Amino acid sequence: MPFINIKMTPGPTAAQKAELIRAVTKLVADVLGKNPATTHVVIEDVAAENWGIAGETVAARRQRGA
């Protein structure tokens, strides 16, 4: 029973998230031979000010165009 947790900053639409869930489930089935019926995919939105890369927040990086 695979459990895949995807963390990302907000932005993608509900339709994009649904497609991501479908695609990840299919990938796990194709690559690992796992049953899609028991594959769990969770998407967590993390605010850009709560996510850090290289010592600064994603919000700050986006603000300066990085």
The pLDDT score that the predictor gives to residue 45 is 98
Report pTM: 0.88
Beta bridge partners of 3: 40
What domains appear along the chain, each with residue ranges and CATH number?
3-63 (3.30.429.10)
Per-residue model confidence as pLDDT tens digits over 17-50 = 999 999 999 999 999 999 999 999 999 999 999 9
The pLDDT score that the predictor gives to residue 8 is 98
Q: Distance between CA atoms of 50 and 23, rounded to whole angstroms? A: 27
Beta bridge partners of 42: 5
Q: What mean pLDDT do residues 11-22 have?
A: 98
For the annotated catalytic residues, the residue numbers are: 2
Confidence bin at 6 (pLDDT 50/70/90): very high
* Bridge pairing between strands 3-8 and 40-45: parallel
Is the model's pLDDT at 66 over the cut of 80?
Answer: no
Q: Is 59 exposed, middle or buried (0-12, 13-18, 19+ CB in 10 A)?
A: middle
